[in-house]
Each structure stands twice: as structure tokens, then as C-alpha cells.
Amino acid sequence: MNSPRRRWQPPLFALGLVVLGACGPEGDEPETDTPREPEAALAANPLTLADYPIKASADQRSLVTATGAPFQYVADTPWGLPSRLSQADVIDYLNDRKAKGFNTIQVMLLPLLSEWGTKNYYGDTPFNNMNPASPAITPVATTDPSDTSGYDYWDHVEWVIDQAGQRGIQVAAAVSWYGYGGRDWRPYMTTSASTAYGTFLGKRFGGKNNLFWILGGDNNPIGDTADVPAGMDTSDRVEATNALANAIRANETKPHLMSYHAKRRTSSAAYFVSQPWHTVHFAYSPETTYSYVLADYNRTTMRPVVMPESYYDARPSSPILDGRRLRAQAWWSYLSGAVGFAYGHENIWDIDSGWKPALQAASATDIKNLASFLAGYKTHLLRPDHRTGNTQKLLTGGYGSTSTNGGLDYGVSATASDGSFGLAYFPTTRSDIVVNLAALGGSSVTLSWWNPGAGGAKTPIGTYAGTGTRALAWPSGYTDALLVVERAGTPPPTSGTLFRAINLGGPALTIDGRSWEASSGAPNLTLTGTRFEDQTIPLVPATDANRAQMIRSCIYSTTAGVAMGTVPSGTYDVYLYVWEDNATKTFDVHVEGTLVQDNYVSGAPGEWKRLGPWVVSVTDGTLNLTTSGGTANLSGLEVYHH
């Protein structure tokens, strides 16, 4: 074993509770079958335990970390991990998934009765006499940490959660999988048993940072009891589910997100949308994930939307999906309103004999590439173009139809709420793509292709005026494609006069025919931050030599700032050059005390942006610019006087 199995000393409440007392989750029907990582590896999960618990954003459209940074839910589904794997194999699994950029694992806390019986890898059972009101807790007879005689089922569950947390991975814990037709834990979860079990869970694990609670499991709480074993309870489970959720809530010391895993093609909101504990819409989908995700996005009761399961790689029965169709499920989800997607593999969900080789499946690398690409964009600002009431779409042609080929050729798109970028995904080739160049509201836009099947860099198409439309030819060699539309930088206003341009981290130089000052020795200038320069990093997009020199020298800090003194009262346009030298950061920008840039995502190494213009009024003789949140690299400041 990797390390001694640690015991847990149950508090008095748990001892009191002790006194009280075949099919995988992926298909519609029964199947027969902390050293820091390299900063350049953007797909690797960069999160730490301090980033949790995850919570809903203020507008209920996205997820954020404990510190308020945007969070993109990228999950794998090793449902059987807590009960099926040894500790050594758990560590191997978690290390692999962290390296591939997954930040969440969806697991069953209890053994799947219809598949694996009642015990975990070590022979421990979760309950006394199959009674959820009576967790099987082994009293600790000694304080000697090397004595593992008291190590029980729940100690192992806690160890799994803690190991995931050490790697910055969230555990989305399905606490009592009901099962297809109610064949698993549903009949045991009466209202009284659920209340006691929920109390245990809340007290035992409710202080963990990296938890997300999942109730239910492949089952609707009303009806859906065709496979409940003969003679067992077939009552509806709405009341019991609410009791379980409310007991967890009442006893956890940290608030965690919570949802319900219903039957495929059924949203968690169908039964629990009005419940205070229901904080995320679970859009459990078949292959055409876009329609189910969008339906949850369009609900009157807004919640972040997660697609918790679609179809898995290596399925033994129809539908059997190739790499392109597997990728499409993820891209359809993220561009139709989801802030989370759960990937799956047939050999991994149940931890069968092929689970280790399956870790290296090409489909998992596609998710790694997707996560890496999205890390460079403000995806929390994306709004699906096909949302209810929206008339300004990124495309005027090329979406296809949901009624053709079962909807499997349908294209989707989404645009950022600040107009900075838009993405359109096409799952199959087509010849009728027409871009609405005015969709982002900028004076010009830059178009690029990105290959979801290969990853890597974008392929530029060109920069065009932000008016009218443009037809595009399908990119050569692509089986599916992502179109990237970005609002290009607006040139300095011709009606304004350059007041000052400062190279914040380097020497004086000339850019676009304008003289830039060196920050060192510049009059009436105070900088907050540490100087940094690396002229070897290739810039994206490439630019002229002087601008590149300015960009690659900067000041950086989590609280970077520029105070420019002796500024006459008046109105000014402010532009700020920022860039990224290692790993994606997220930060805000304030000018004159006003938030002008919310949650800017810095992107991959070498990416830079000229932010602005921000129109501000100065009345006190000093123009102040500050940042907050993640580490910001500030390269250059341009100020124009109206």
C-alpha cells in the first residue's frame, strides 16, 4: 500500500448513529458489458485545495472558486473509484487526471449493489445491516497511527477526498446511487434513514473544501421503480431526497454545491428546481447535449448548468461514438450554456480490468486539449447564441438543422457578454458557413480556425471590418472545427491627443510613430509591482519589434498599480497592454476606482491584449489604475486627452 491507512476517531454523534440502528450509470438500459507542475502545461489542472469550495456566481450563470475566480467544471466519471480501487491505484488515477486537466471526479460513495455487492476493495462495508441510518464505524482502540485495525469504510472515503484535494481536484460525490429502475440504494433510502445518513455525511465530511454533493443516480424520484427488488420499498423518493439534502445542509460547516442525477433525458430541475439546496442544474443528456443544456439554461430559475453524463467512449452497444462524436458532446455543452461537462470511458466508470490503459484514450486527450484552449478565454462570459430571445448570432449561415441526421450535424455558437470574442463549433463539414462580422460590436474582428481533433495553435483566417458578413471555406483536413472570432484592438481615437504613453517595464521607444517613455525616471509616476522581462517568449499574435519589446517587459503583482500625477482635470481614454508569460491568470482592472475590466483571463504563454479604451474623468490631478485577483503583467499604458 502507498501509505498507512489512517483511522478516524468518530465524534459522539456518530457513535449515537451506530446505536440507531446491474448496470453502469452511463446508459439508458442495462449494459452487458504537490510539487508545482510545469507552467507551460496549461491543460494540467492548476487548482489547489484553497480554490474550493466552488460556488455559483452572483448572476447564477457560472461557477467561481472560493476566491471568486471563474471555474470551468471539467470532470471525469470514475464512479466506482472509492469502492473499487486500492489506495495505490487511487493515487495513480488522480495523478493522471490532474496532468490531463480534469478538476473534478464524479464518484459513488457507496458500492453499486447491482454490480459490485456491498464491500469496498478492502472488504469494508458502509453500513451495519444495510441500514443507511447506521454507518459502520469502527471505534479506535489506540492513538498509535501505525495501528490500522480501526480503519473502516468511511476512513477510506475520507482518504480519497483528501488525496483528491491535495491535487486540486473536486470530488462530486453521489452519496446514495438510486440506480436504474431503483435497483440499487433507492429502496433503502427512506425518509428517516436519509435524514440520519445525511446528518452523518454533513458532520463527517461537511468541512471538506473539495466537495460537490450529488443526490439520486440514474433514477427519477417519482415512479421509476421497475427494477426495485421484490418485497422492497417502492415509495416515491422526493421527500426522502429532500430530507437527505437538508440534513447534509444543516450539518456541513462549509456550503457546497448540490444537485440531483435523474434518469437520462431528465433534468435535476424537473423535480427540485424550487428547493434551496438545488444549486446547479444537471442536464443529463443523450448524444445531442446541446438541446438539454440549452433547455436548462433557458429556465426561469437560473442556475449554473452542468452536463453530468452523455455517452462514453468504448461503449459495447449503440450508440458507439468515434472521437469526433465524443468531442462534439463536450463542445456542444460548453457552447450551449453549460459551465461543466463530464467525460466518460466504459472501462473507467466501473473500474474494470481495462481501466488503466483506458486512462490514455485519445478521447481523454481531446478533453485535455479542450480544457487547455478554453483556459485562454473568458468562458464565464459566454452566452449561447440560441438562448431564448437572442437575435444577434455569430453566424448567419452554417448552423444546420436539429432535424437532420438526428441533430448530429448541428452547429452551435456562443458570444462573450462583453463582446470580446465568440466561438462556433461545427461537428461535421459544411460549405455554407457565413460569419456575422458585426456580432461582437467592434470596429474590426479577427477570425481563426482551431482543430478540436488535433489541438495546438489556431490557424489565422484574417482581420476584417466589423460590418457585414463573410463566407468561409471549410478548413482543410478538419473533421470537426471551431471558429474563433475575436474583436480586434480599436486604434487610438483620432479626436483625442496623446497625453502620455509609458513602457511600464522597459526603456523609451517608438510605437506606431508615437514616443513612449521609459518607466524608470519618468516624472510624476508611481508603480506598484515587480519588474519582469523575458524577450524570448513568442508573442500571440505576433507584432512589430518595438511593440513586442514593450509587451515582454512589464511590472507584475496581484495588486499591480500605476499612479500618474499632474493630470489636468478632464476626460481621458485609457488603454492598457497586458500579457502572459507562464500560466493563465484571472484579474480585474480598476481605473479611478471604477471596475473597467471584470475577470480578464490572461491566456496562454505569449498571449497579449491591448485593453480599452476606458473613458474616465480625472478631477484630483492623479490618474490611478489598479488590478486585483490573480497576478497581472502590466506592460504599457496609453492615455489620450479628449
What's the pLDDT tens digit per position in 42-58? Answer: 346 889 999 999 999 98
Instruction: Give alpha helix (H) positions in 9-72.
Output: 12-19
Contact in structure between 498 and 638 (CB atoms under 8 Å): yes
pLDDT in tens, 308-347: 999 999 999 999 999 999 999 999 999 999 999 999 999 9
Fold of 383-487: Immunoglobulin-like (2.60.40)
> Phi then psi for 486, rounded to 5 degrees?
-125, 135
Q: How far is CA 137 from CA 217, 252, 382, 562, in A?
A: 25, 19, 46, 58
Q: Report the pLDDT value the prediction gives residue 616, as an integer from 0 to 100.
A: 85
Q: Report the pLDDT value the prediction gives residue 512, as an integer from 0 to 100.
A: 83
- The whole-angstrom separation of Cα 301 and Cα 283 is 14
Range 458-464, long-range pairs (CB < 8 A, 24+ positions): 458/484, 460/541, 463/488, 464/437
pLDDT in tens, 371-400: 999 988 999 999 999 999 898 899 999 999
Winning range, highest mean pLDDT, from 25-34, 142-151, 227-236 = 227-236
Three cell numbers written together for 502: 509609458
Q: Report the pLDDT value the prediction gives residue 615, as an integer from 0 to 100.
A: 81
Q: How far is CA 323 from CA 61, 189, 255, 265, 367, in A?
A: 29, 39, 37, 22, 11
- The whole-angstrom separation of Cα 527 and Cα 505 is 10
Helix (H, G, I), strand (E, B) or coil at 462: strand
How big is the chain, counted in residues?
Answer: 642
Return the amino acid letter for 444: S
Percent of the chain surpassing pLDDT 90: 79
Three cell numbers written together for 165: 484535494
Return the amino acid letter for 590: H
Q: Report the pLDDT value the prediction gives residue 595, as an integer from 0 to 100.
A: 85
- The whole-angstrom separation of Cα 107 and Cα 30 is 19
The residues spanned by each domain of the chain are 70-139+148-253+266-375, 383-487, 497-641
- The whole-angstrom separation of Cα 460 and Cα 522 is 38
Question: CB within 8 A of 30, min separation 6: which ones?
Answer: 22, 23, 180
Q: Report the pLDDT value the prediction gives residue 75, as an integer from 0 to 100.
A: 98
- The whole-angstrom separation of Cα 425 and Cα 605 is 24
Give me the mean pLDDT over the 144-167 stretch.
86
pLDDT in tens, 77-109: 999 999 999 999 999 999 999 999 999 999 999
Q: Report the pLDDT value the prediction gives residue 149, as an integer from 0 to 100.
A: 65
Return the amino acid letter for 25: P
- The whole-angstrom separation of Cα 378 and Cα 20 is 50
24 band by pLDDT with thresholds 50, 70 and 90: low
Three cell numbers written together for 153: 469504510
Question: CB within 8 A of 89, min separation 6: which ones?
Answer: 356
Q: Kindly report which listed range (188-197, 486-495, 613-622) carries the lowest average pLDDT score.
A: 486-495
Give the strand pairing for 338-342 and 73-76: parallel
CA atoms within 13 A on the CB side of 135: 30
497 band by pLDDT with thresholds 50, 70 and 90: confident
Give the strand pairing for 63-64 and 70-71: antiparallel
Per-residue three-class SS string for 602-637: CCCCCEEEEEEEEEEEECCCCEEEEEEECCEEEEEE
- The CATH number assigned to the domain with range 70-139+148-253+266-375 reads 3.20.20.80
The answer on pLDDT for 69 being more than 70 is yes
Q: How many CB atoms are located within 10 Å of the residue 300 CB?
A: 6
Q: How many CB atoms are located within 10 Å of the residue 564 CB?
A: 24
pLDDT in tens, 519-538: 999 999 999 999 999 999 99
Report which of residues 69 and 481 the model is more confident about: 481
Q: Which residue has the cell 454533493?
A: 213
Give me the mean pLDDT over the 111-130 stretch.
96
Q: Report the pLDDT value the prediction gives residue 642, as an integer from 0 to 100.
A: 78
The answer on pLDDT for 5 being more than 90 is no
Three cell numbers written together for 325: 462524436
Q: Of the candidates 545, 555, 604, 605, which has an alpha carbon nearest to the alpha carbon of residue 577?
A: 555
Q: How many CB atoms are located within 10 Å of the residue 2 CB?
A: 12
- The whole-angstrom separation of Cα 100 and Cα 44 is 5
Q: Of the candidates 376, 530, 367, 458, which has an alpha carbon nearest to the alpha carbon of residue 40?
A: 376
- The whole-angstrom separation of Cα 29 and Cα 35 is 43
The answer on pLDDT for 18 being more than 50 is no
The answer on pLDDT for 6 being more than 70 is no
496 band by pLDDT with thresholds 50, 70 and 90: low
Angle, alpha carbons 502-503-508 (nearest 5°): 95
Output the CA torsion sign for 533, 538, 541, 546.
Answer: positive
Q: How many CB atoms are located within 10 Å of the residue 620 CB?
A: 10
> Which residues are bridge partners to 425 per DSSP?
412, 482
Helix, strand, coil share of the chain (percent; to 5): 20, 30, 50
Percent of the chain surpassing pLDDT 70: 90
Q: Of the candidates 601, 55, 586, 577, which has an alpha carbon nearest to the alpha carbon of residue 373?
A: 601
- The whole-angstrom separation of Cα 251 and Cα 200 is 8
Give me the mean pLDDT over the 407-431 stretch.
96
The answer on pLDDT for 63 being more than 90 is yes
Give me the mean pLDDT over the 128-154 stretch.
80
Mean pLDDT of the chain: 90
Q: How many CB atoms are located within 10 Å of the residue 177 CB?
A: 27
CA 18 and chain centroid, separation: 38
Give the strand pairing for 338-342 and 55-56: unpaired
- The CATH number assigned to the domain with range 497-641 reads 2.60.120.430
Residue 335 parent element (H or E): none
Q: Give the CA dihedral 531, 535, 538, 544, nearest 10 degrees.
A: 100
DSSP state letter for 375: T
Q: Of the candidates 411, 483, 472, which has an alpha carbon nearest to the alpha carbon of residue 440?
A: 483
284 band by pLDDT with thresholds 50, 70 and 90: very high
Q: Report the pLDDT value the prediction gives residue 146, as an integer from 0 to 100.
A: 59
- The whole-angstrom separation of Cα 617 and Cα 598 is 19
The answer on pLDDT for 365 being more than 60 is yes
Q: Report the pLDDT value the prediction gives residue 101, as an integer from 0 to 100.
A: 94
Contact in structure between 189 and 247 (CB atoms under 8 Å): no
